[in-house]
Amino acid sequence: MLGQLETGTHEHAVRRLAESYRAIPADAPVRLAKKTSNLFRARAASQAPGLDVSGLGGVIEVDVQARTADVQGMCTYEHLVDATLPHGLAPLVVPQLKTITLGGAVTGLGIESTSFRNGLPHESVLEMDILTGSGEIVTARPEGEHADLFHGFPNSYGTLGYATRLRIALEPVEPFVALRHLRFHDVDSLVEALGAISETGEHAGVAVDYLDGVVFSATECYLTLGTKTAEPGPVSDYTGQQIYYRSIQHDSPLPKVDRLTIHDYLWRWDTDWFWCSRAFGAQDPRLRRLWPRRYRRSSFYWKLIALDHRYSIADRIEARKGQPPRERVVQDIEVPLARTAEFVHWFLREIPIEPIWLCPVRSEGSWPLYPLRAGETYVNVGFWSSVPRAPDAPDGAANRLIEEKVTSLDGHKSLYSDAYYDQAQFWRLYGGDTYAELKRRYDPDSRLLDLYSKAVQRK
């Protein structure tokens, strides 16, 4: 076992967290006292003190033999990966952005290109310590006294409690990832290939360890197949002038090949926040040369987004052009594989956003607050931009259309961004009866917001 924190450090941080919870007035909202967030939904301002999580951002220990890591709830995946890669190990699923925390990915979900074989990040959790709404710290495992909380914690977004420690499984990785970018000229063919590769774990006789895709248009879309390899050789660098998602594009009927270190592969999307850095001009070659490398990362773009929210910069720019404010459409949804092509065709017709990201996922567990059918392949579709807002359109018009379409296709959407469901529909989709029972047991005095209030009403 390789210790990362000094003895007693974690316990002291947990005590400080519990004390800060007790210090919050009973009628005041409970929030984490942290400067960063990976949520896009707005929330009401609060003058109440937040939970002190300042000492909960570390790796407690890495057990190389058991292939596990004990990690504090506010530890970022960037920090965790730095601790595990030197031992040839990585979390089973590493979400795309460096500042996503372990606790955040479990209570708020996450996904990446290993999800077709490893599910979602919470499915690699072996046990976790949770500060519940009652102020008690319990250890939740798949079986035992608090198994209900273990299975109900994913997608609860801090409304049942906060993870202080998580023990997760790790898997072996190789120093490099060999990439094959396959071009398709229609969405249906791409989805068919995505399903076959998800099922077999190989393509053209070569193992596929990582799998995702990008749709630039109805006639230009790609799957990227990654294979672990120890073979030495030259690698690409997309942290400088070259942009990763542009490297995917090509006209050849043959796959385009590439290689990255495992570290750069895991963070390939972070440098340009997928493709969203273009909104800040970071992809303009002239500006990119002047943009410091240390600021080409998602955490800095979040700061720019925060400034926009505070001062309505984007809306002011649109007003100067004589245009109305734009509607933010920042969402990740999952639909069954068999309905994916239908959704993508509809989206490309109705919502003027491109590119969009595709990532297959297969869950094997029972997670009542995000009930994907066990053993069935779903496809995550990610789209992150804004669309013109018609003057007479209701608030969130495009987002409401997307919600209706996803529901009609037997899908779900993540709750990290704006949501518009009515209460009855929301609880049908997100485990209402189970959630109510968990709330009664672990937050009997309703110290924490309920999930609908937090995700939809944005209190």
SS (H, E, C) 303-319: HHHHHHHHHCHHHHHHH
Q: Which of 268, 298, 329 is the last residue of a domain?
A: 268
Check whether residue 149 and residue 21 sit in a common domain: yes
Check whether residue 91 and residue 146 sit in a common domain: yes
Separation of CA 119 from chain center: 13
Q: Tell me the residue range of the domain where 110 lies.
A: 2-173+442-457
pLDDT tens-digit profile of 415-432?
A: 999 999 999 999 999 999
Give CA–CA dist 263/261, Å, rounded.
Answer: 5
For 193, 276, 346, 416, the CA distances from 406, given in Å and listed in that order, are 22, 23, 11, 16
pLDDT tens-digit profile of 386-409?
A: 999 888 889 999 999 999 999 999
431 in a structural domain:
no
Q: Which residue type does 30 have?
A: V
263 in a structural domain:
yes
CA pseudo-torsion sign 193, 195, 197, 199: negative
64 in a structural domain:
yes
For the record, the structure tokens of 214 come out as 């990008």
CATH number of the CATH domain containing 347: 3.30.70.2520
Domains in the chain: how many in total? 3
Residue 277: partners with Cβ closer than 8 Å, 6 or more residues away: 271, 283, 296, 301
427 in a structural domain:
no
Check whether residue 166 and residue 194 sit in a common domain: no
Check whether residue 14 and residue 138 sit in a common domain: yes
Q: Which of 268, 289, 304 is the last residue of a domain?
A: 268
274 in a structural domain:
no
Supply the pLDDT for residue 316. Answer: 72
Reduce the secondary structure of 270-335 to three states and give it as a string.
Answer: CCCCCCHHHHHCCCCHHHHHHCCHHHCCHHHHHHHHHHHHHHCHHHHHHHHCCCCCEEEEEEEEEE
15 in a structural domain:
yes
The answer to whether residues 179 and 226 touch, using CB atoms and an 8 Å cutoff, is yes
Supply the pLDDT for residue 313. Answer: 66
Check whether residue 389 and residue 412 sit in a common domain: yes
Check whether residue 6 and residue 62 sit in a common domain: yes
b/e 396-427 (16+ beta carbons within 10 angstroms → b): bbbbbbbbebbbebebbbbbbbbbbbeeeebb
The structure tokens 């990255």 sit at 260
Supply the pLDDT for residue 46. Answer: 53
Backbone angles phi, psi at 141, to 5 degrees: -130, 170
Check whether residue 248 and residue 366 sit in a common domain: no
pTM, two decimals, is: 0.94
Check whether residue 247 and residue 220 sit in a common domain: yes
The answer to whether residues 201 and 347 touch, using CB atoms and an 8 Å cutoff, is no
**Range list of β-strands (E), 337-445:** 356-362, 377-388, 412-413
Check whether residue 136 and residue 248 sit in a common domain: no
- Residues shown for the chain: 459
Q: Find residue 165's DSSP bridge partners.
A: 72, 129
Check whether residue 244 and residue 377 sit in a common domain: no
Check whether residue 24 and residue 89 sit in a common domain: yes
306 in a structural domain:
no
Low-confidence residues of the chain: pLDDT under 50:
none
Q: Which of 268, 295, 323 is the last residue of a domain?
A: 268
Residue 53: partners with Cβ closer than 8 Å, 6 or more residues away: 17, 32, 33, 34, 73, 74, 162
> DSSP label at 76?
B
Among 434, 456, 389, 378, which residue's Cα sits nearest to residue 147?
434
248 in a structural domain:
yes
The answer to whether residues 78 and 93 touch, using CB atoms and an 8 Å cutoff, is no
Check whether residue 195 and residue 238 sit in a common domain: yes
For 101, 140, 332, 391, 436, the CA distances from 94, given in Å and listed in that order, are 10, 22, 16, 41, 31
Q: Which residue type does 228 have?
A: K
